[in-house]
Structure 1
Amino acid sequence: MATESATSLRRSSRLQAKVPAFYIEEPEGIDSSSAGPSTTRREPKRPAKRPRKSAPAVLEGGAQATSQKPLAPRGRRRTLSKLVDMPLDILFEIFGHLQPHDLLHLARTTKALRNILMRRSAITIWRNAFGNVQDLPQCPPDLTEPAYANLLFEPYCHFCLKARVMTVLWICRTRACKACLKEHFTPLSAFLASARIPYNPQKSMKTSSMVPMEHINNKLLIPNKVAEEALALIEGCKGDWTALEQLQKERAAAVKVLEVNAFRMMDWQIKQNHQRSMNLIDLRNRRRKQIIERLCDLGYGEDLKWMTYDRVEEFIEHPLVKQPKELTDRIWNNIKAPMIAFAQTARAERLMRERCLHYINRLSVVRDTVVPWLAQRPLWEPLPSIADFSYYTPGFRHILGRPADVFYKTLDLPPAQVNAILQASARTWRADMARKLYDMVIAAISPSASTSDTSAALSPGDPTVDQLVSRVCSATTWFRCTDASCGALLDYPRVLAHGCAHTAPPVNLHPTSDADDLRNAYALVLESQPWNMAGDRVVFDTRAAEAAAQVVRACGRDPAKTDGAQMKQNKTRLACSLCSKDGRTCVMAWKRAVAHLCEHARQGKEAKLTLLSKRDTRVVLAQEPARLLVPFGTAYKMYGCLRCRVGPPMTLAEVLDHCADEHYVDMGQLEEDFDIHPDAEAELGVPPYDMYYESSLFLTPIRR
């Protein structure tokens, strides 16, 4: 008995039907020639071999080729072909350790596996697989286990099989791409407007509660199939309101069950997405730490330690660092060169900062001293910037010139004394800037006069400070920004606050001189530089000066005795002869007229200006506010923040967003939270562009 049990092996009942035909049992006592009593294996007839093709003959000599091309080895095939022949209990045990999407993929490989996994007796396999997924809700009663797995894990459209479809309509139990949403779903409004739904003014029926719907793109959508089924059931009641009410209750209860299960699945998906995001973050963090460790082993630890905030952000967002993959030796060898290049850049930046550390210290002292005083002054007042204080005023300039081994702390002086010093320094700065601007004017008007001659010490024949200021404030004194992307026309005092003249150059990671160190310190500490530090950001514009003289004469004034403030007070409006045509008159303010004439001059055209009469000017001024409301709010950069007092001008929308985001002021107020920027592109209430009116509004004849 023991021998019999030891020798009897387990056999699959499904294998008995698959015994090969060449195993034949023959009864004893019968001649093998007639039927054969032997139970030995009968050798099957070997199939005939395919005849081998002979090698082609060599043309020269007719000899056969002595060598043939070796055949490539054939790979193994059907390595798992016997899997379906295993006993079902073993298969069920194996499949029970898989994930639900693995079972789906297996069921789609062969018909045999599909027959095993899709039969009702395989439900335990699916339940065990669902149990392997953490916190997964139970399969809803309206879905089979394979359909549930397909809904959860297969990112394909259920209608057109488009890949990477992440829009899951949980209540409708389907996935749909954008195209299929339009084709296979109906808006709730269209469903309720159907003529197949009976109407009774005395009784109301909540038809919308009878169908499952999803909120997609601000619309409530219903599957076409479900909508048609609901309408058919409603028609089947044939207007019987008792039956309709009963149908409505049954359908609403069924939809409620769908919604409850849908909310559970949605909650599970949200948790899974969050867990997936956390896993990816953890992978990225580990990869970043591993890269840092590798770079530290190469001697870049000190450089990585002292990286700036921007450099750290650049490192974190680096495409080779941000990948959610473990760092292996092979991967490190592939990314080693660019990572070393990044570390070398960090080293160069650290050495650059150490080289200009004394300038960084002194500019920080100047900043901490000047900022409280600037906060007390109007934003529009022509004042030196922090960089201008440090470079152009004698006291702070002396601090910058001290030896590199001298470091300063915050100035410990009474506030009144500091304010007096800064006030005097601002007056000195305005005089010095007037001299620089005057030198530009003289150099442009008289090219033979060198800059050194015009900037020499004042002699009895030289202009006084008041004369210098009067000259640069003249209505005919105009400068132009040399930046190709800007090219703005600048008058006084806007020219002193123009952003392009204060823009610091990029940091030089390989400085070779003290001047390089100073420029790097300005870029690092203040993110700006002293006004026109290189001397090439602003130039005097002779063409604009000639155009301004023409504008002043058109207004009936003497160009030599008129300044910009006088022109602004008059609120005059002028019309262009070239642009006023076809029953429309081109009207502009005086500053816009200067730029307008320059544009015509560049095109080789000569335009004439006409001063509008007082009556016509009043007509224009009455219509301008309504036409300026929208452009001033969104188009022109005119405002600056009174709390920051640094940075370029902003539009009204931008400055309001800035106050809300940076200072938590919901609705900033003019002159309280923000004010007109000294580098404003336009004056408040004055159009900075041409405005066209119907010619019938005016009585002033246009000069041609």
Structure 2
Amino acid sequence: MQRRSARLKGRPPPSVSYALDDLDIELDSEDDTEQGESDAPPLEARKVAKSRVRKRKSKTSSNESEDIEQAEQPKAKKLRGNRGFLHILLDMPTDILYEVLGTLEPLDLLSVARTVKSLRAILMSKISLSVWIHSFSNIVPVPPACPDDLSYPQYAELAYGRSCYYCRRNLGASCLYRSWRARVRACARCLGNKTLFIEDKHLASVLSNDYPLEVAQLLPAVTAQTGTGWRQKPVLYFLRSFHDKWRSEVLDFSCQADEVEWIDSKNRESTAALEESVKYITWSIEWEKESRSKIRLVIEKRKELVIDRIKKLGWEDELSKVPDDVEQPQDDPLISKIYQKELTEKILHNLEPRLEIIMQCVQLRRLTRERGQSLQIRITCLDFIRFEYVSSLAPGAFIPTTADLYTNDFIKAVLNGQTNYDILTISQREEIQNAFPEAIEKWQRDAEKSLLEIFATACSQPNNAIYDYDPSTILKLAITFFQCGRCDTFCTTEQMMRHSCTRKDFNTCALDEDLGAIKQATKMLPWNTNKLIRVPILTHYRVRIVLEECGFNSATIQVEEMQRLDPIFECLEHGDEKSGRCTMGWLSLCKHLHSTIHADLGKGKRTFLVLSGEEALEVRRRIVENQERYLGKSRLTTSICTHCRQKGSVFTLLQHIRDTHGVSKPALGKDMVTLPDSYLPEPSFMLWPPRDPEDIRTLREGAP
């Protein structure tokens, strides 16, 4: 498009020339442009100054004549544009420019050609063919010869480009799919465009008897991978433009012989095209491998710079102690992204605070690992002493774990070798075992104190201040339940001390050197280190209402008494004619009140009642039956042998008791008992037949 500026009138049209001297005329120098931009006043100031000058000049006639003379004189040529940093290339002689450009790779040549029109004109002309050939020879492995139907710039764009041919989005090589036969590159979104591509499963429906399906399979296609993991599979996308072209050719046939000859020609063309494509695909795979290896080498060199900086920070000794089988400091996720660009001195300087944090963590992990290794033998001996002590107790009796006992000052001093007792000496193990009862009792007192603090903290919240309680008895009452913040299990005070989630590491807290060593040696943490215990105050309040409604004194009845009575509750709000009567044991009552809605609870209507007689016995039998059926199917460690204290599943213990102890018919509860911390189905049962709706209405309207 021609420029219509008045200043260009009378100027001869520029001639097309690739000489660098001619190119210099059309481009402005960078220094002059920056000088002009920095010295130029604001636009409004220039307008005001210009108007004032005109007014002053209009006062005298002499000034008017001077202005007319200046206007008649031709103005000096004002250069436009900014050559930027590439003006050095434009000032070079042609032969030197070609030699410089020949050292670049094809993708770099394309980038240079897209900078300014003058360089594009040079690189897209036939005289620069030697530059492109020399550029392709710089690639390792050397690519095949340029296809006959492509120019060298087109060949470079197809082989190394990073954009889709249809939507022009720059997505990178990993998100694009190339077809050497069709000479296209497409993204996943464009492949799904039905106006551009035909998916292989839709090919038969698109043909509509235009030509045989066997011939349609020869259409140029793009192969894409769909799905992830084991679901990943290749899918062919045929180009619709080729399909439309072939269909128009078929419609022009006048006889059957023309169609047969056309099919034979397509077979020959497809065979030759596929053979040619294999050559380019093989080279492309090798080139991608070579490129990845070069990238890895560059990243390794940058990692060496980071290692040198770590050594300069004074961590050389700590760096030498990092084992080869663990994550190295230079591979830490905090700094992994920084290897994508060149590491300058400024970047390395800004990286130093992160490197300090990383090396401090590396040091802590090393000390924890060494501490755990030194404790491993002593903790193994402590486990043996603990096992002997447990064998003297009743089956299923509660005793803290080895990690729990580490919180005891005496046991901790023994493990650290800070006492006169040597746990590695067999003669002194009995003296250490004698200290177990006192250590266990102290641990239980500390655990109860922690639970009481958790309960008090929950009750101190503004919305949870329900009533005053007695700290000396609240943990023993039947209305007191705790909830696991991990698995949402409701537990009594004793059950929460046994609960396994309270000793697992869910990465919810930072571990110091001692806790990390204990975790490494015992594969668990001391009780409630992860702070997962919760107090469901609202559910606590609902349980108290239900117990009062059913005739129990919630302020005095304790867990032991409820276990002895084993009452069976029936919920009148959640029983119906389809499912039956909703009955449950005392331990299931808390979860039922927590997970279901009871609109009439505490409003003067009866919502629960306690079953008695034959109905209560039937529900207890059904609950026990369901739990024993679950234990029989489970392959988890849920039970313990009463004869030798061996733990295992019910299935393995039955065989063990028959073979080892000679009991022909082992019984659950006599020859083996269920571990207290084992998972069991909820003690609930839908009793049949259901109650009559009138009976339910009568029971609910009665005084609770």
- The one-character-per-residue Cα deviations of 1:190-231 (angstroms, maximum 9, x if unpaired) are 22223443578xxx8353134334134253211221222233
Identify the residue that residue 216 of structure 2 maps to in structure 1. Answer: 207
Q: Which residue of 2 aligns with 1:365?
A: 378
Cα displacement (A) at 1:288:
2.5
Q: Would the aligned equivalents of 2:382 and 2:423 in 1 still touch at CA under 8 Å?
A: no
CA deviations on 1:621-667 (whole Å, 9 max, x unpaired) are 79x99xx99xxx9xxx996799xxxxxxxxxxxxxxxxxxxxxxxxx
Deviations 1:377-419 (A, max 9, x none): 999885532223545698x467248637x89675668xxx98x
> Which residue number corresponds to residue 608 of structure 2?
608
Q: What CA deviation, in whole Å up to 9, does each residue of 1:435-485 have, x standing for no partner?
A: 88899999999977869xx9xxxxxxxxxxxxxxxx98x9x485415x777
Following superposition, the deviation at residue 267 of structure 1 comes to 0.8
Q: Is the 8 A contact 1:638 1:679 kept in 2?
A: no
Show the 5 A alignment for 1:257-406.
Answer: 257-296=275-314, 300-304=315-319, 316-317=331-332, 319-320=334-335, 323-324=338-339, 325=341, 327-340=343-356, 343=359, 349=364, 361-362=374-375, 365-367=378-380, 369-370=382-383, 382=398, 384-391=400-407, 396=411, 399-400=414-415, 403=418
CA distance in 2, matches of 1:242, 1:193: 22
Q: Distance in 2 between matches of 1:533 and 1:360?
A: 21
Deviation digits for residues 1-37 of structure 1, max 9, x if unmatched? xxxxxxxxxxxx98799899xxxxxxxxxxxxxxxxx
- Higher deviation after alignment, 525-534 or 96-105: 525-534
SS in 1 for 2:217: helix
Indicate yes or no: 2:590 matched with 1:594: yes
Residues 1:480 and 2:482 aligned together: yes
User: Structure 1: how far apart are the matches of 2:23 and 2:162?
Assistant: 43
Query: Aligned AA for 2:418?
Result: P
1:193 aligns with 2:195: no
Shift of 1:547: 7.1
The 3 A distance-change label for structure 1 pair 107 and 239 is farther
- 1:507 and 1:14 map into 2 onto residues whose CA distance is 69
Q: Which residue of 2 aligns with 1:664?
A: none
Give the direction of change, closer, same or farther, for the CA distance of 1:497–1:265 in structure 2 (3 Å limit). farther
The amino acid across from 1:193 in the alignment is S
Counterpart selection for 1:175 from 182, 185, 195: 185
The 3-state SS of whatever aligns with 1:128 is helix
* Kept after mapping to 2: 8 A contact 1:393/1:425: no
Amino acid at match of 1:249: N
What TM-score do you get using the length of structure 1 for normalisation? 0.59
The count of residues paired between Structure 1 and Structure 2 equals 554
Alpha-carbon deviation of 1:530?
3.9
Indicate how the Cα distance of structure 1 residues 403 and 80 shifts in structure 2: closer, same or farther if over 3 A, else same.
closer
Conserved? CA contact 1:639–1:677, under 8 Å: no
Aligned in 2, Cα 1:540/1:89: closer, same or farther, shift over 3 Å?
closer
Q: Distance in 1 between matches of 2:471 and 2:91?
A: 104
> What's the TM-score, normalizing by structure 2?
0.59
**Partners of 2:451 and 2:250 in 1: CA distance:** 89
Give the Cα separation in 2 of the matches to 1:271 and 1:533: 49
Q: Report what 2:104 is aligned to.
A: 98
Deviation at 1:178, TM superposition (A): 3.5
Rounded to whole Å, the distance in 1 between the matches of 2:434 and 2:452 is 27
Q: Could you say what secondary structure the match of 1:336 adopts?
A: helix
More helix by share: 2
Q: Percent identical across equivalent pairs?
A: 18
**CA separation of 1:695 and 1:154: change in aligned 2, threshold 3 A:** farther
How much does 1:369 deviate? 4.8
Classify the secondary structure of the residue corresponding to 2:140: coil
Q: Does 1:577 align with 2:586?
A: no
Structure 1 segment 230-249 matched on structure 2, within 5 A? 230-237=246-253, 239-240=256-257, 242-249=260-267
SS at match of 2:288: helix
TM-superposed CA distance for 1:427, in Å, is: 8.6
The CA deviation at 1:188 is: 1.8
2:490 equivalent to 1:489: yes
Pairwise mapping of residues 151-170 of structure 1 onto structure 2 (< 5 A)? 151-166=158-173, 167-170=176-179
- How much has 1:132 moved relative to structure 2? 0.5
Measured at CA, do residues 288 and 641 of structure 1 come closer, stay the same or move farther in structure 2, by a change above 3 Å?
farther
Contact kept? 2:219, 2:238, Cα under 8 Å: no
Pair 94,340 (structure 1): closer, same or farther in 2 beyond 3 Å: closer
Alignment of 1:382-461 (within 5 A): 382=398, 384-391=400-407, 396=411, 399-400=414-415, 403=418, 410=424
Which amino acid counterpart does residue 186 of structure 2 have in structure 1?
Answer: A
Q: CA deviation at 1:366?
A: 1.7
What is the CA–CA distance in structure 1 between the aligned matches of 2:402 and 2:434, rounded to whole Å?
15
Cα distance change of structure 1 residues 638 and 439 upon mapping to structure 2, 3 Å threshold: farther
**Cα–Cα, structure 1 residues 321 and 552, in superposed 2: closer, same or farther, change >3 Å?**
same
Q: 2:383 is matched by which residue type in structure 1? A: V
What SS does the aligned partner of 2:349 have? helix
Paired residue secondary structure (1:209): coil
SS of equivalent to 1:323: helix
Uncovered stretches (5+) of structure 2, i.e. residues with no partner: 1-16, 25-45, 54-79, 227-232, 456-466, 640-673
Q: Describe the shift of the 1:429–1:701 C-alpha distance in structure 2 as closer, same or farther (beyond 3 A).
A: farther
The amino acid across from 1:154 in the alignment is: G
Counterpart Cα distance in 2 of 1:506 and 1:17: 71
What is residue 40 of structure 2 aligned with on the other side? none
Distance 2:445 2:91 in 1: 100
Cα distance, 1:134 vs. partner?
Answer: 1.0
Q: Provide the C-alpha distance between the structure 2 equivalents of 1:363 and 1:545, rounded to a whole number of angstroms.
A: 45
* Cα distance, 1:114–1:369 mapped onto 2, change above 3 Å: same
Contact kept in structure 1, 2:20 and 2:92, CA below 8 Å: no
Whole-angstrom CA distance in 1 between matches of 2:106 and 2:588: 72
The partner residue of 2:152 within 145, 152, 174 is: 145
Return the offset for 1:490: 0.8
Task: Measure, in 1, the Cα distance between the counterparts of 2:260 and 2:599.
Answer: 85
